[in-house]
Amino acid sequence: MKKIQLAALFLLGLGINVFAQDSYKLVESKSRNMVTGTSTLHDWRCVAEKQSGTAAIKTGDVLEVKSLTARIAAKSLKSIKENGKYYDDAMDKNAYKALEADKHPEIVYTLTGTSNMKTTGATSTFSATGNLTIAGKTNRVTFPVKAVVNGDNITFTATVKFKLTAFGITPPKALMGTIKTGDDVAVVLNSTFAK
């Protein structure tokens, strides 16, 4: 009888290990997330200088992302030129005003589900569905994701396209309306999470 009980406990322990998931946190120094768009003057991009995130992930033969939340501080978005230098503060201030950053200080994404998971070696691809909140308005979005496992690190890359007006945001204007931002923008993600 004792052997059966020990065997049952052993198998239960194996089951716990097989289905265990690990907690991960976004590594800010290894992540580069930005928002890109167009205007009547030039294309633009804003890099997030302050971001955070948590996830519950099971690695193994098939990657399973059980949960994931990522946050970008709206006022940490900084516009940059192709040579890496910042524009003047006026463009950033227009962006913060459009995002209502004082009232809604964070852009937040919360994963609600995944589908079409395919894993080959250390690389997985899947469709992610979740809630994206910008300027206080939440929309459901689905987009393709690539995940690469490297030891205790997992790097997710994706591009999420949407319209500013879908989040109740009026595309910013400058110089008395002579420069207009396009309605179509994208969040370009390159986020690394670690145990």
In percent, the amount of the chain with pLDDT more than 70 equals: 83
In angstroms, the CA 171 to CA 78 distance is 17
The predicted pLDDT at position 179 comes to 75
The predicted pLDDT at position 7 comes to 45
Sign of the dihedral through C-alpha 94, 167, 113, 160: negative
The predicted pLDDT at position 16 comes to 41
Instruction: Cite the beta strand spans of 74-195 per DSSP E.
Output: 77-79, 106-120, 123-134, 137-150, 153-163, 173-174, 179-194
In angstroms, the CA 86 to CA 77 distance is 11
pLDDT of 190 over the 70 cut: yes
Backbone dihedral angles phi then psi of residue 105, each to the nearest 5 degrees: -70, -10
The predicted pLDDT at position 6 comes to 43
In angstroms, the CA 59 to CA 65 distance is 9
Those residues with Cβ within 8 angstroms of residue 40's Cβ, 6 or more apart along the chain or in another chain: 178, 179, 180
Bridge partners of residue 53, in order along the sequence: 70
The predicted pLDDT at position 38 comes to 84
The pLDDT confidence band at residue 12, using thresholds 50, 70 and 90, is very low
The predicted pLDDT at position 150 comes to 95
In the chain, where does DSSP find H-type helix? 2-19, 89-98
pLDDT tens figures, 147-175: 999 999 999 999 999 999 999 998 877 66
In angstroms, the CA 170 to CA 45 distance is 17
The pLDDT confidence band at residue 184, using thresholds 50, 70 and 90, is very high
Mean per-residue pLDDT of the chain: 86
- Does residue 91 or residue 26 have the better pLDDT? 26
- Does residue 10 or residue 39 have the better pLDDT? 39
Backbone dihedral angles phi then psi of residue 9, each to the nearest 5 degrees: -65, -40
Which of 104, 100, 89 lies closest to 46 in space, CA to CA? 89
